[in-house]
Amino acid sequence: MAKPDRDAEFTEYLKARSAWLTRVGYLLCGDWHRADDLAQNAAVRLYRHWGRASRADSVDAYARRILVNVYLDERQSGWSRFTFLHRGPIEREAPTLDADASLDLRAALARLAPRQRAAVVLRYYCDLSVEEAAEILGCSTGTVKSQTARALARLRVLLAPAAAIELEGITR
C-alpha cells in the first residue's frame, strides 16, 4: 500500500503539471482526445515509478520521457490505427497568436513521421538539447539531428506558400 505522503506528493505534482503533459501530448499526436489519453497513461506509469521519479533531478524530464515513450509505443503498435477515429476538436481557450498559422503548423506536424514529430516537439517546444532529446528517444545524437533536419525540411515544404512551391517545382 502506498504511503499517504507519497500519494499527496504525486497528486500535488499532477495537479500542477497535468495541463502541461496534455499540451506536450497534443503536440505529439495532434488530437486533444488522444493527448488526454496519452497524459493519463503517462500519469499511471509515473505513479508506478513515483519513488524513483520524485528523486530524479527533474520530475518534469522524467514525466516527459514517459509521455514520449507512451506515444511512441502507441504508434509502433498496430492497435493504434484501429482505436483512434477522427473526432471533433475539444473546445480550448483561444490562442493569442495567429490562428491560421497555428492551424497550418498543426496540420503540417500531423504529416510528420512519429519519431520526427517527437524530435521536433522535444527540441523546439520542450526546448531540450540534442543530447537530452536523444536520451528520451533512446537513440544517438546523430539520429536526433537527422530526424530533426528531415522534419524541418518537410515542414518548410508543407508550410511554404503555394506560389513558391509552383515556382520551385516541389511536390507536397
C-alpha cell at 115: 519519431
pLDDT of 37 above 80: yes
pLDDT of 71 above 90: yes
Quick one: fold of 98-172?
Answer: Arc Repressor Mutant, subunit A (1.10.10)
pLDDT of 63 above 90: yes
The pTM score is: 0.66
Task: Count Cβ neighbours within 10 Å for each residue of 138-164 and write b for 16 or more, e otherwise.
Answer: eeeeebbeebbebbbebbebbeeeeee
> What is the pLDDT of the chain when averaged over all its residues?
83
pLDDT of 163 above 50: no
What is the pLDDT confidence band of residue 95, given thresholds at 50, 70 and 90?
very low
pLDDT of 109 above 80: yes
At 47-58, the pLDDT tens digits run 999 999 999 999
What is the pLDDT averaged over residues 32-48?
A: 94
What is the pLDDT confidence band of residue 158, given thresholds at 50, 70 and 90?
confident
Q: Which strand (E) or helix (H) includes residue 169?
A: none
Q: Which of 125, 24, 115 is nearest to 67 (CA)?
A: 24
The Cα–Cα gap between 46 and 89 comes to 27
CB 130 within 8 A of CB 144: yes
How far does CA 11 lie from the centroid of its chain?
A: 22
The Cα–Cα gap between 43 and 18 comes to 8
C-alpha cell at 101: 498559422
Angle at 172 between CA 101 and CA 22, to 5 degrees: 45
Domain ranges of the chain: 8-80, 98-172
